[in-house]
Structures are given as structure tokens and as C-alpha cells.
Structure 1
């Protein structure tokens, strides 16, 4: 992609952030106008950046996976041990509701995501990091020996329901406390 002017890059970033939010809440079949409105831009601006829904969904998937790779790298780099890194990553995924975004975007683009060379690279980096953390946590004795990297990858897409009488952060904390207890040996 050619280098964008600062305002164009800002519009693109706003559109992607809004698309991810709207996709999480309403799925990928939401109107392009609703996405433009959520981004605070005109529909023409949205279509200049993303010529069709497929391009927007693909860009949202790439942005989502890149952010996930960054979260995983930061968790691994800044945590005391592998279980702490796994816990931090799973907590951030839940707090950001990445599971809802994955559920909205992945089915629509499953084949494209698997075939896109730029997405293959980022997906592989995430998978490698999760495998490394799993191996380290097993060696440290902090993760149940039957937990696999595939299990942890699925948990990264965990969707947590908050009842009307509780906040989302409260629900996340309760469910993740139970989950982390279950992951320990």
C-alpha cells in the first residue's frame, strides 16, 4: 500500500476501529453507512479507502490479527513467567472482546484468511508464540500438562456474557479467575 497522508491514514484507522467495533456488536453484514457513521466519516471516504465490504472485512481481519500478535509479543516480553504471559494475553483478549470480532470476521473470510500471505505470516507468528508459551509453562510446571496450544488459541476467542446486573469487567474477572484455576496443574 502506498504511504498515506496523515489525514487519510487517520481516516483509515478510524474506519478500521469503527468496523471492528460494529462487526463485534452486529456482525459483518451491517451497512457500510453504519460503519462510516460510527467512524465519523462520510460513506465516500469509507469507499475511497475500502472499495467494497470484502476489502473492509479483510483489512479488519488483518488489523485484528496484527493487534493480537502485538498483544502476545508484549505479554511474553513483559511477564514474569509463561503462565503469567498466557493469563495476561487471555485477559486482554477477553477485555477487548476479540472473540466476538473473530466470530464475526473469521467465518466470512475463513478461506481468504488462510490464503492471504500477509495474514499467514501474522497467524504463524501468533501460533508459534502460543506454542512457545505452552511449552515453557509446561516446563515451569504452571500449566496443566494436557493443555495444548490449540486449547489456548481457542480460549483467546472466548466470549463472555455479562448479565444486565453486572459490568462487563466484573464478568470477565469472574470467568477468567475460574478459567485460570482450571488451567493450573
Structure 2
């Protein structure tokens, strides 16, 4: 995120990023940048002064999404009574951000560049640290099933659901998330196929490099 901006410049930047995120989700990442400026209520020149090209704007949207994920995880840990409720709150919030929808609309190579950006390393580490802490505690409390690993939560964070005609997106997503959460509890009876995805999978998914082994 840019530092040292005046208050009006910061406000315009935030409006542009919010409008871009909405339009990328609604129409895809090829939406005309003039439409982004209109949605943000700023001039096209203002948009291009902050973001010289589409890739710069996409990176800003990716950074803001990661920051919101980190904020969701840390707030959930701080405010919820235990790790299980914190995990549930975090996953509900992550799905509501529609991270999976945005990732699906990005060109795969551009998505990889955004994920691997060194300037986003600190934010990714915050997300990972919070998620790992919640998982470890929820498992120690005997609430989270043992055959679910950190990498599985990375998949759930990007959950994307097709909404059938006549049903609101929020209704469809909310129902699926609650079904998923019920299946994560330790008292769930049905075994899961395959092996749980571990911490390495979570780190690879968020493009955080592991230190070399000795």
C-alpha cells in the first residue's frame, strides 16, 4: 500500500480499489477502467495517476483482499470465546470476500505474480500465523476433526458456489458454508477421502517460501 498520500488522495485510491473489486467480481477483470472510475466517482485521470495500468490495479485489489483476510483472522482470534468459533467466523468472512471468485477471474500467470509478490509477504505471513494458531488450538480443544489440515482451510478460504436462479448469492454461500462447518467438527461421523493437507500446502497455496531444511 502506498504511504505518504494526502487524505484526499488516499480516499480516492480507496474508492478506486473498492470499485475495481466490485466490478472485477461482477464482470471480470477485463472491465473497462473508465467504468471503474465511474463506479468510484473519480475522473479517469485520477485513476491513471494512482494506477498506470490494469496490472497495478489488480495488484492493489489483491493486496487489499489479503489485508482484509488478515484483519478477519486476527479480529476473530481476539473477539471470539474460543478457537472453534474464531475459525467459523474467519471462514464465513473469507467466503463473503469471494476470494475464490476473484482468483478464478484472473489470468493464471497474473494470479501467480500477485500471490508471489515479495511486498505482500508480511501480510501473507499474518494470515498464515493466525490460521495455524486457530487450527492448532481448535484441535487441542477436541472440537476440530483430526483429519483436516491447514491446507484444507486454504481451499475453504476460496470456496466458490454457483448460485441457482431464484436464490441470492448470500443465501447460497451461507448455506454451503454452514454445511462445511458442520463437517469440520470432531464429532462428524463420515471419514474424509485422502490425506489431510498440511502446513506446507497452506504455505505453498499462499506463496510463502519455506526456509531450507538443514
> How many Å apart are 1:8 and its aligned residue?
1.2
8 A Cα contact 1:85 1:133, kept in partner: yes
Aligned residues: 185
> How many Å apart are 1:26 and its aligned residue?
2.0
> How many Å apart are 1:143 and its aligned residue?
0.8
What RMSD over aligned residues (CA atoms) do the two structures have, in Å? 1.7
8 A Cα contact 1:24 1:100, kept in partner: yes
Mapped to 2, the partners of 1:115 and 1:101 lie a distance apart of 16
- 1:140 alignment counterpart: 141
TM-score normalised per structure 2: 0.80
- 2:77 alignment counterpart: 76
Q: More helix by proportion, 1 or 2?
A: 1
The reply on whether 1:49 has 2:41 as its aligned counterpart is no
Unaligned runs of 5+ in 2: 187-214
- 2:4 alignment counterpart: 3
- 2:128 alignment counterpart: 127
8 A Cα contact 2:91 2:156, kept in partner: yes
Cα pair distance change 1:106/1:174, threshold 3 Å: same
- 2:92 alignment counterpart: 91
- Residues 24-81 of structure 1 deviation map (CA, whole Å, 9 limit, x = unaligned): 1222222111211221212111101101111111111111111111111101111111
> How many Å apart are 1:113 and its aligned residue?
2.8
- 1:40 alignment counterpart: 41
Mapped to 1, the partners of 2:109 and 2:26 lie a distance apart of 15
Q: After alignment, is 26-35 or 53-62 more displaced?
A: 26-35
8 A Cα contact 2:76 2:86, kept in partner: yes
Mapped to 1, the partners of 2:102 and 2:109 lie a distance apart of 11
8 A Cα contact 1:58 1:109, kept in partner: no
- Classify the secondary structure of the residue corresponding to 2:77: helix
Mapped to 2, the partners of 1:106 and 1:73 lie a distance apart of 30
> How many Å apart are 1:112 and its aligned residue?
2.4
